[in-house]
Structures are given as structure tokens and as C-alpha cells.
Structure 1
């Protein structure tokens, strides 16, 4: 028992450092993903067939390929093809961003479509242009409905960062691998890594449920 406590104290600084990298990558990625999701979500409900097609292609390609392949393509493929020296964290953020963005496209599209059509008609009758009506009337109502879905996507992206250990990002999972390489205590170390993920994700899950209850009021 004391041996496990000693291992925990010894490993905690490295695991916390990895956890902070995980949070950094997931947070930055989600912000970028929200922008991508909004842009392609609006394209998917617009009148332009070309823009709709672009949105469909983006969503289908990203959702139809594994995240690990996307990470390898960005970090190794693009770097090799164009002679770009890309930092692993930068490649990881790009990979998580475009991956999460493809799922947020559907969240935005569904959220916007869930707003009563009469809201747009009323806004247009007051003299607002389509873009102004979308910006001032539709999106604020849609985003309010989508907040829990954003948090759920953040949780998914948070777990997805573990895949980025394959390109050398020292996030929580790779921190665990490095600790195991020095002490050969895989069972205890992976248990600690899993516990940190579990605590963080449970906190976010409860926060999501809390928001859902508040938004229903």
C-alpha cells in the first residue's frame, strides 16, 4: 500500500504536466473546431449547391477516416510533402480541430434547424437581411440549445488526445508510457492515468448535466 502511495507521489508531477498538455490541446482544438463547425454548418444549410457539396465532402472524409490516420497525414504526410517542420503539438491541434469540427457541423446544422422557421420570417419582415437575422436572431437561440453538445464534444476530444501520443506529444497518455519505461509498473501507472481521465471527464459530464437542467428552466 505504502509502495503504491510512494509511486503516486513520484509520478504525479509528470502526470499533471501531461494532463495540462491534454487540456491545452483539447481546449484550443475545440475553439477552432467551433469556428469550422459553424462555417461548414452554415454552408450545409445554405442555398449554394457548391458550398453544400464542400460541407458534405469535408464531413464525409473526416468522419470516414480514423483520427490516428489524420494525425499521421498531417504530421508526417504534409511535413514530408511540403518540407515543413511542424511541431507535434501544432499537428495534434490541427488533427483534433478538423476531426471535432466535422462532428460540430452536424450539431450546428441540427441546432439551427431546430429553431422555429417563424423566427427567421419574423426577423426578415422587420427588415433584417438573411445574414443579420442569422447572426442576431437564429444563432443565439441555436447556440443556447447546443451548449451541452459542445461540452460533450469537448469530452470526446479530450479522450481523443490520447491518440496523439503516437506522434510524440507528451500528453497524459504518453506521460504514463514514459513513467512505465522507467519503473516497469504498468498496472499501477495505467490505473493512475485512467483515474485522472475519469475524474476530469466526470467533472465535465456533471457540468454538462447541470447546464442542461439550467437551460430547460
Structure 2
């Protein structure tokens, strides 16, 4: 075993890396849960025929997509603290930013799933005497969920990977822990960075690959012809 690789297993280094990974996953899962709760109704609203409502939804969606997540992190963590006098932790600021981003993306996924449902599904349900609300609840939403779930799982993977940005606002996640281990052993293990970052890559892989695999399986199984 190369001496630089041994550093990973010395003391609590591996446990610290796993703890940092849990911080990343926790931020992503909490943000994703909030995004689903807020994104589902937002997506339904985006299908509205009201031009003003559609314009406002589109403005929000495009603003979030154009603005880099890193800039949003800085705005919420640094500027919002000054302007509103709030004392936000890095983890809470990260959850807020990823929820803002996730809600916009989730809403657009919901909108796309609803609008992709064949028109005859609406017409058949209305011919059976269902009200518009009943059509949405009993026909459209169940069909949309079958398309939406694989995409939601995929969005979760993207969110987990994007949490690496929170290191720049002081959150001690897996990448920050890796940097701390490398800096503390810079002279004794000068080439350890390759191994440490390799372990970080592997940790992200073992978390994200099963989620990506599940997304592909669901998409293949539930694809609506």
C-alpha cells in the first residue's frame, strides 16, 4: 500500500470524510424535499393560461437558471445577512439557495410532464363528466408522476454534486474535510492530494451512481407511450 494512501486510514481521517459526505447529502436531501413540496404546485401554476401568471413564472425560472448557484450562495449568506440583519449558518443558507434552485427546476419538470400528456386523456376524462379539478387530481397528476419521478431522482443527483459549492461559504462538507487533511499533512505526505481527492470522487460515486441507476430504471419502466 503506498504510504500516501495510508493517510486516509490514519486516525479519524476516513470518518471525517464520511461525516463531510453526510453534510453534503443532508443539505441535498433537505433541499430536495422542500423543492418537491414547493415545485409541484409551482409546476401546476406554470400550466396556467393566464399570461401574467405565465410571465411571472417564466421570469422566476429564467432568473434562477441564469444566476449561478455560487452567486446565489454569496447573495444569501453574505448580503442577506447584512441587509436583513440575519445570522444565517452556512448550512441553512445552502438549503435556502438549493431550495430556490430546486423549486424552479422541479416546477419546470412538473410543467413539462403535464403538457406532454396526450390531449385525448383530458378529453376522455371531461367526457366522463369530471370537473377540471377532478381531471387534474385523478387523471393528469397520476400520469405526470410516472414521467416525473425518474427526472426528480436525476435532479437529486445533480443537487448532491452541486453541494460541493458550499465549501466556499465555510460549510465543512466532504471537500472541505479533504482540504483540511491535505493541508495538515502537506510536508509528511506531499502527494496525498491525489489519493484524498480520489476517495472523495469514490464517495460521490457510491452515493450518486445508485440514484442515477434508479432514475434510468424508472424511466425505462414507466415511460408513457
Distance 1:87 1:73 in 2: 13
Length, aligned pairs only: 217
State which structure, 1 or 2, has the greater radius of gyration over its C-alpha atoms.
Answer: 2
Per-residue Cα deviation, 1:95-128 (whole angstroms, up to 9, x for no partner): 1111122222221111101112222233334443
Q: Which residue of 1 aligns with 2:189?
A: none
Distance 1:30 1:212 in 2: 19
Where does the alignment leave 5 or more consecutive residues of structure 1 unmatched? none
Residue of structure 2 aligned with 1:62, choices 64, 67, 73: 64
Distance 1:23 1:91 in 2: 15
Per-residue Cα deviation, 1:2-26 (whole angstroms, up to 9, x for no partner): 5245322232100110111111111
Per-residue Cα deviation, 1:17-62 (whole angstroms, up to 9, x for no partner): 0111111111111111123322222222112222211210110100
Q: Within 5 A, what are the aligned runs for 1:1-217?
A: 1-10=1-10, 11-184=13-186, 185-216=192-223
Distance 1:47 1:131 in 2: 15
Distance 1:128 1:80 in 2: 52
Answer 1 or 2: higher relative contact order, Cα 8 Å, separation at least 6. Answer: 2
TM-score (norm 2): 0.89
CA RMSD of superposed structures (Å) = 1.8
More divergent stretch after superposition (207-216 vs 85-94): 207-216
**1:36 and 1:98 in contact (8 A); partners too:** no
TM-score (norm 1): 0.92
Higher helix share: 1
Where does the alignment leave 5 or more consecutive residues of structure 2 unmatched? 187-191
Distance 1:3 1:131 in 2: 65
SS in 2 for 1:115: coil
Question: 1:63 deviation in Å?
Answer: 0.1
